[in-house]
Structure 1
């Protein structure tokens, strides 16, 4: 059984790792030239029921605990005047919640757990065609081809594998602009104090200015806006971004002024809730390729859980991979629908005129109901 995994993100690598533990080999085709070719993004909060569960099945729970930052769960929500609306502080050193881990550290943990020849770097799949006897012929951007029995699309939002199963259209939901501030403790101690060890959300009307402390001592700054037809080039300079936050407390907009890099804007898109396909022999999808969600904390977690569940089915049905794929897909469709619905509600809430009030209610613990009388 020759398994090809398109995409070497956390979903694809988790799948390869768990398959390897079951004695099933797979090749991960990754378009990046090496593990260090691109910045991997900020921190991830891994949920016990999904991301952490997948790492446990991968045999990497101890490695995760050594790299994770429980203090990264701390989050603060401020209004445009700088007033604190919510300040959540986790129990010191506790791994009982959703500890943060640097995306790079998580990817390295997965890569280091795999045989050295598992990932084929610099291999971008541009097409896949069914072979007459079953399986798939893969074509790469350099022109060479290879075959596989099973193809798993773990290749993200713009998946090349997805059109083999569905022609679903993506819909824009927001625009995000990313910036970075290095060595914040030494260079900008006031901003370090403002953000703290975790996440900061400064919430206005239809927009959020956020910052996240990374494991290397830097800050990842983000601006989230409602989806519009405005060209992305309008968001590539600091004066234009500062104009969006005119009248906000200067302590907050200092996050934009202090950024070291040129602002990087991008459109955020999602797939329709309830997307499913009828199935096709020898091919399936995981992660963003299967269910592109808004960026509210579920994407990587669900991708890793997809990987764990697909690997488990393939290990259970080694002589009938199509039955394994069918079982995985039916369970995934059922699981992901409420997650997608919840993610869409949170995304809409965060970029609404009443976001501040709604988020305060969302993060305020509900009082426990008294037990019913005997």
Structure 2
């Protein structure tokens, strides 16, 4: 007669392992995210997988986390983060539903099926201390991805705006309300800014003076419906249209150090009303407007194996080394390079273009867009990625040189 003791003991050990908490070191402040996964969309019953993830910038594509179905799963991510105090803006982009809490305050609530085409934001004024950030997520069908990040609102964005509101959507006549607001970060939903302002067919103008460092700046506006933004009278964003909440951006190069006037105009037609505005300095100079440098890792072999010989910050991928080598510590033949960077992209369809001698590969958020990993003279390779969601995306370019001439250039653009 077969004994039932060992199968029962195995099941008991498995259950104990599943319910054991993560190590204490993993639960300390700023130690990463504690991830819990469920094989259903409702975080129902006990999680079947627990793990640590360093950051929430995950694109599973048509796949899923280990040991979970590719559709109809959910997750909870928890992290202890210490903030120095002051206003903080939180961002989330996902496919499908997402919720974000700071301690027990629900800041972002988009618990619906939707593609990762929109970045949701919310601000919070935090006292110095350690906070629990909790994110819940579910995947229904098709693609699965989640991106969560935050940034302190810099001092130049913390001053008061003069806000004027009109009871029409054309900023016509005299405003019915003039007040001061600390930031342009509103999600009125189907409500209105104030009792004297209607919930539909209203407009607003926000004006303030800010002190900026010299350099190139990128301005963002998320609006439902129309929005326009000026810097010192120059129109930077012009999206005076009716449509759902969408993130728009505009760049202004060579901004001089000193005081500058920002003006934002907005109108709401019907339905939900949303307006959020922020900006960031993207370049202290003007060598490569609007872009942070690439991190380049150079290897003394064709396979990107082992430790890189040289690690650099490259302003662009546009090199023609001829029959030479990128650096004296590298061979002229049989070397390889991996470049990575994170870029902010508006939603849309994108074409990526690489010209290389010899092999080249390009990924967007882990998805292979260009794959021409073969020897050959300089030739152009193209790849298209459709329905890119607005927000930060990771680009990876890999290249190898076999023999003879070595060259590579890479660029991309949004398709009309």
Normalising by structure 1, report the TM-score.
0.29
Q: TM-score, normalised by structure 2?
A: 0.27
> With CA pairs under 8 Å and 6+ residues apart, which has the higher RCO, 1 or 2?
1
Structure with greater helix percent: 1
Q: Which has the higher strand share?
A: 2
